[in-house]
Amino acid sequence: MEYSLHAALAGNPNSGKSTVFNALTGSRQHVGNYPGITVEKKDGVAKLAGKSIFITDLPGTYSLTAYSQEELVARRTLVEERPDVVINIIDSGALSRNLYLTVQLLEMGAPLALGLNMLDELPAKGISIDVKRLGRLLGCPATGTVARNNKGLNELLMNAQDIAEQRRGKPWEPLKISYGSDLDPVIEQMTALIEQNCFLTGKYPARWTAIKYLEADEEILALGSDENSEVAACLQEMYERVSRHLKTTLDTYPEAVIADYRYGFISSVLRNGVVTQRDELAWRASLSDKIDTVLTNTFLGPLIMGGIIYLIYKLTFLLGEAPLGYLESFFGWLGETVGGILGEGALSSLLVDGVIGGVGAVLGFAPLIMVIFMLIAILEDSGYMARMAYMLDRIFRYFGLHGNTVMPFIISGGIAGGCAVPGVMATRTLRSPKEKLASMLTAPLFACGAKLPVFLLICAVFFPQNADLVMFLITVGAWALALLVARLLRSTVLRGDATPFVMELPPYRMPTLKGVLLHMWERTWAYVRKAGTIILAVTIVIWAGLSYPKLPAEMSASYAEQRTRIEAELAADKSAMEEALAELDNQEAQDTLRHSYAGRMGVGLEPVSQYAGFDWRANLALIGGFAAKEVVVSTLGTAYSLGEVDPEDAGNLQAEIKADPSWNIAVGISFIIFVLIYAPCFPTLAVIKQEASWGWMIFATVFNTGLAFALSVIAYQLLHRILIL
């Protein structure tokens, strides 16, 4: 496809950048990871006057100084891809902070178009902004927007297109800011040296590189040493000289001076008729502040948070129960129909027992997954999720964790429905290596979206009247366990002091229907896509393992002889004969499964797994869960479908588990505990290896599985004795 221009979308976290991206591109998006880095990459296409505009959504970042992978990726994308224009989304209610990134983009020389977002929130604060004047003072077009209502977005795109066409083919023109009498002469000397030697000038403006040397930017220092070690040494010597001077005279360092002068530049721009505030409204607290006096109250806040989480599960089962029943009936009908058309045979068994019985068991829970994702999206878009992190930080300190660990925990499934993969990725924002490792190793302990079908299945079987309460208790238990494990790790292998926590609370906003539905669809589709790829592949492998080899000829002959004998002896009593034959068929089916490769594996683990209450079917499901936790349900579905001799009873996994004498409440609770805790799935382990090392990946597998088995055994043995008594 031909694109009229390439635009990059940049902005601070919570500036509404993602809302702008979703509004501009809609369903025309592609999500992946930047090559070699576990940072999410979003590309999309926007339409303007019949033209297609390719948009790259850069990771949310407060600056272009490479402290985190997000900042590093944003900067590399700008430098290496050189987009035609950068659309900088700014939270108009926090101009001073947001313009810090803007100034850095201008210093890089990028063609810039500003989008001042959330202008509708300013009147309540008594603030007004002259958007056009701000654009003139900064030398780039500025547009006021309200992204959640699509206001101003077309004008923003038009301004971006205009500035791109004006600057197309021309070199980037960096903004020059004075950094005072101490730094300006050094910057000029560095710039001259860089230009004379063409030092990194193929990528970066010379003055910008000089400033990065004064900021001790690690990536630029490394690139400089590789480019020309002699020039790099000269620049480093200049930096050290001015650093000593600033330390002696002002007791400061170059990076702090640069930051002060940037904020001074921003302040001078804003005072130049850009921002006005009405005195009669200045004293009023914002609506968000008023709400926070209740929702983040020391005593009321945690109680309200617990109530909201419980309400999520209540609504999930209330709204999802009916469509769940319809889907179960549909897959049951589909299996019966396909089986009737194809008759008996390997292909029929593969499709009915493997694909429909396995994948259908996972897809059957899609309505519940969809509802819970919708509710989570409402919490995220409203701004309440950040309040949860703020309140939980008070607790985290006692367990040796940094407050920023809250977000990886929530992303991993702290309210259920998340994913450990981005949760582990999110730990990279932690500066302390030990806090990062502790957070990374405990993030997979939550009820992620992959584990939800397992929990929903067990709840539907054993706790149909109190499923919402049990799901709430699973969530609370996961939090308690994660914190206790973190305390254990931080007191032993990861001992060290906690670092301070600072967090920005975004204002409350009314979620838009489009935004909520888009987020819900993205996550639900990822769940469905996983069922159609990874889970389908693993399910077929498990079906093959359960289907082959067939019973030995002598055992098949023995069953045939018994069948003939029953038919002869009970010929006069048709009802008794059918009952006896059904019992024999069921026994043959069970022996066939146990004799299969997979069945032997499951049976081989029973001498150990029996202490946790698991039979061979449960063992096999848990083995499949190492690849992806959704496979636990699909494996159970396949195993029970292959073992079911009455087609009318096949397809209803809940009924089959409920009728199996090897399952009871004690086994169900033990199963929930094991699935919640044991080894992370393969994708999560791959990310842990990438973010940490092979050693920590192996540790996560062994430690989590050992802990899961120990707690499952304790729970089962205690509950089993209670049930006997």
Distant-in-sequence, close-in-space partners of 466: CB < 8 Å, separation ≥ 6: none
Fill in the DSSP letter of residue 412.
I
Distance between CA atoms of residues 149 and 161, nearest Å: 22
Which pLDDT value is given to residue 647? 38
Mention every residue, 6+ apart, whose C-beta is less than 8 A from residue 370. Answer: 320, 520, 524
Report residue 180 as tokens.
Answer: 């005072």
Furthest-apart CA atoms within the chain: distance in Å? 111
Residues 463, 432: Cα–Cα separation, whole Å? 42
pLDDT value for 285: 46
- Is there a contact between 254 and 243 (Cβ–Cβ < 8 Å)? yes
**CB 44 within 8 Å of CB 29:** yes
d(CA 508, CA 617): 48
Question: How many CB atoms within 10 Å of residue 235?
Answer: 25
What is the CA 132 to chain-centroid distance, rounded? 38
Q: Which of 483, 506, 452, 480 is nearest to 312 (CA)?
A: 452
Q: Which residue carries 């089916």 as its tokens?
A: 589
Strand partners of residue 112: 86
Q: Is the peptide bond before 35 cis (omega within 30 degrees of 0)?
A: no
Distance, in Å, from the CA atom of 487 to the CA atom of 396, rounded to the nearest integer, reads 10
Burial degree of 721 (CB within 10 A; 0-12, 13-18, 19+): exposed
Give the span between the Cα atoms of 420 and 696, in whole angstroms.
15
Query: How far apart are the C-alpha atoms of 354 and 642, rounded to whole Å?
Result: 8
**Distance separating alpha carbons of residues 207 and 213, to the nearest angstrom:** 10
Is 338:352 a contact under the CB 8 Å cutoff?
yes
Token pair, residue 294, equals: 């209740």
- Where do the H-state alpha helices sit in 414-496? 420-425, 433-442, 452-462, 467-491
Closest CA to 141 of 120, 162, 165, 169: 162
Q: Give tens-digit pLDDT for 284-293.
A: 446 677 788 8
Q: Tell me what pLDDT residue 365 has.
A: 64
- State residue 648's pLDDT score: 41
Spatial CB neighbours of 696, under 8 Å, sequence gap ≥ 6: 437, 440, 441, 688, 689
Distances (CA, A) of 618 to 69, 482, 570, 621: 41, 25, 37, 5
Residue ranges in the chain modelled with pLDDT below 50: 32-38, 280-285, 645-651
Give every CB contact of residue 75 below 8 A, 6+ residues apart in sequence: 64, 66
CA atoms of 363 and 331, how far apart (whole Å): 9
CA dist., res. 533 & res. 355, Å (int):
11
Q: Which domains does the chain have, with CATH numbers?
A: 5-167 (3.40.50.300), 180-281 (1.10.287.1770)
CA 86/CA 89 separation, integer angstroms:
9
Both ends of the chain: CA-CA distance in Å?
A: 71
* Mutual angle of helices 452-462 and 467-491, in 10-degree steps: 130
State the residue for tokens 């050992």.
706
Please report the pLDDT score of residue 373 as a whole number.
77
Predicted pLDDT of residue 672: 95
